[in-house]
Amino acid sequence: MPTLPLVPLPRRVAPTEAASPFPITSATTVSGDTDAAGTLAALLRTRTGLELAATDDGDIVLSVGGGGEPESYRLRVGADGIRIDGADAAGLFYGIHTLVQLIHGTDAGWIVPAVEIEDAPRFAYRGVMLDVARHFHDVDTVRAYIDRAAALKFNHLHLHLSDDQGWRLEIRSRPELTRAASATSVGGGPGGYYTQDDYRAIVAYAASRHMTVVPELDMPGHTHAVGVAHPELAENPVLDAVVSSGGPAPRAGEPYTGIDVGFSSLRIGEDATYDFVADVFGELAELTPGPYLHFGGDEALGTSPEDFATFVARASEIVRRTGKTPVAWHEAGAAPGLARGTIGQYWSFVTPVDGADERARAFTRGGGRLILSPADAIYLDMKPHEDFPLGLTWARGATSVERAYRWEPSAVVDGLAEEDILGVEAPLWTETVATLEDIDALAFPRIAAAAEAAWSPATSDAGDRTWESFRVRTGGLGPLWTTLGIRFPASPEIPWT
Ligand code: TNX
Domain range list for the chain:
12-119, 125-462
Q: How far apart are CA 219 and CA 273, in angstroms?
A: 11
Q: How far apart are CA 272 and CA 242, in angstroms?
A: 27
Ligand 1 binding residues, C-beta < 6 A:
261, 298-299, 329, 347, 379, 381, 392, 429, 431
> Up-side HSE of residue 92: CA atoms within 13 Å toward CB?
26
- Per-residue model confidence as pLDDT tens digits over 250-302: 999 999 999 999 999 999 999 999 999 999 999 999 999 999 999 999 999 98
Q: How far apart are CA 362 and CA 416, in angstroms?
A: 11
**Angle value at C-alpha 98, between 131 and 292, nearest 5 degrees:** 35
The listed CATH number (1.10.1060.10, 3.20.80.10, 1.10.10.10, 3.20.20.80) that belongs to domain 125-462: 3.20.20.80
Q: Are strands 29-32 and 53-54 parallel, antiparallel or unpaired?
A: parallel
In this predicted structure, what is the pLDDT of residue 403? 98
> Distance from the CA of 427 to the center of ligand 1, in angstroms?
9
Please count the other Cβ atoms lying within 10 Å of the Cβ belonging to residue 353: 10
> Up-side HSE of residue 446: CA atoms within 13 Å toward CB?
30
Three-state secondary-structure class, residue 81: strand
DSSP symbol at 249: P
Task: Among 294, 381, 429, name the best residue to mutate to test ligand 1's pocket (greatest count of ligand atoms within 8 A of Cβ).
Answer: 429
pLDDT at 226 over 60: yes
> Distance from the CA of 68 to the center of ligand 1, in angstroms?
38
Q: How far apart are CA 189 and CA 251, in angstroms?
A: 18
- Per-residue model confidence as pLDDT tens digits over 39-64: 999 999 999 999 999 999 999 999 99
Least confident of 120-134, 347-361, 418-432, 451-465: 451-465
- Per-residue model confidence as pLDDT tens digits over 145-190: 999 999 999 999 999 999 999 999 999 999 999 999 999 999 999 9
The answer to whether 413 touches 358, Cβ cutoff 8 Å, is no
Q: What is the mean pLDDT of residues 431-447?
A: 98
In this predicted structure, what is the pLDDT of residue 66? 84
In this predicted structure, what is the pLDDT of residue 236? 84
Q: What is the separation, in whole angstroms, between the first and last Cα of the chain?
A: 17
Q: Residue 153: what are its φ and ψ, rounded to 5°?
A: 75, 25
Considering only CA atoms, which residue is closest to atom 9 of ligand 1? Answer: 298
In ligand 1, the atom with minimum distance to the C-alpha of 382 is: 14
Q: How far apart are CA 342 and CA 304, in angstroms?
A: 22
Q: Which residues pair with 212 in a beta bridge?
A: 156
In this predicted structure, what is the pLDDT of residue 79? 86
Spatial strand order of the sheet with 104-106 comes to: 22-24, 109-112, 104-106
Q: How far apart are CA 171 and CA 173, in angstroms?
A: 6
pLDDT at 468 over 70: yes
pLDDT at 350 over 80: yes
In ligand 1, the atom with minimum distance to the C-alpha of 345 is: 9
pLDDT at 244 over 90: no
Name the burial class of residue 266, with classes exposed (0-12), middle (13-18) and buried (19+) by CB atoms within 10 angstroms of its CB.
buried
In this predicted structure, what is the pLDDT of residue 462? 65
Q: How far apart are CA 143 and CA 149, in angstroms?
A: 10
- Indicate the pLDDT class of residue 240, thresholds 50, 70 and 90: low
- Indicate the pLDDT class of residue 238, thresholds 50, 70 and 90: confident
Q: What is the mean pLDDT of residues 71-94?
A: 97
Kindly indicate whether the domain formed by 12-119 is annotated with CATH number 3.30.379.10: yes
- Indicate the pLDDT class of residue 122, thresholds 50, 70 and 90: very high
Considering only CA atoms, which residue is closest to atom 10 of ligand 1? Answer: 298
pLDDT at 310 over 80: yes
pLDDT at 486 over 90: yes
Q: How far apart are CA 377 and CA 372, in angstroms?
A: 10
Least confident of 16-20, 66-70, 453-457: 16-20
Q: What is the mean pLDDT of the chain?
A: 96
Task: Among 299, 373, 378, 425, name the best residue to mutate to test ligand 1's pocket (greatest count of ligand atoms within 8 A of Cβ).
Answer: 299
> Distance from the CA of 132 to the center of ligand 1, in angstroms?
13
Q: How far apart are CA 373 and CA 298, in angstroms?
A: 13
The answer to whether 194 touches 133, Cβ cutoff 8 Å, is no
Please count the other Cβ atoms lying within 10 Å of the Cβ belonging to residue 393: 13
In ligand 1, the atom with minimum distance to the C-alpha of 131 is: 12
pLDDT at 342 over 90: yes
Q: What is the mean pLDDT of residues 116-139?
A: 98
Q: How far apart are CA 312 and CA 334, in angstroms?
A: 9
Residue type for position 116: E
Cα–Cα separations (whole angstroms), residue 254 to 180, 258, 300, 432, 492: 9, 12, 20, 21, 44
Task: Among 164, 261, 264, 301, name the best residue to mutate to test ligand 1's pocket (greatest count of ligand atoms within 8 A of Cβ).
Answer: 261
Closest CA to 427 of 374, 477, 471, 472: 374
> Distance from the CA of 71 to the center of ligand 1, in angstroms?
31
pLDDT at 461 over 70: no
> Who wins on pLDDT, 463 or 13?
13
> Distance from the CA of 429 to the center of ligand 1, in angstroms?
7
- Indicate the pLDDT class of residue 18, thresholds 50, 70 and 90: low
- Per-residue model confidence as pLDDT tens digits over 405-429: 999 999 999 999 999 999 999 999 9
> Distance from the CA of 165 to the center of ligand 1, in angstroms?
13
Closest CA to 182 of 117, 222, 226, 217: 226
Residue type for position 329: W
Closest CA to 460 of 406, 388, 382, 424: 406
Q: Mind telling me the catalytic residues?
A: 299
Q: Which residues pair with 125 in a beta bridge?
A: 423
pLDDT at 303 over 80: yes
> Quick one: angle between helices 89-102 and 34-48, nearest 10?
20
In ligand 1, the atom with minimum distance to the C-alpha of 296 is: 9
**Angle value at C-alpha 204, between 297 and 368, nearest 5 degrees:** 35
Considering only CA atoms, which residue is closest to atom 11 of ligand 1? Answer: 261
Considering only CA atoms, which residue is closest to atom 13 of ligand 1? Answer: 429
> Distance from the CA of 379 to the center of ligand 1, in angstroms?
9
In ligand 1, the atom with minimum distance to the C-alpha of 347 is: 2
**ipTM confidence:** 0.96
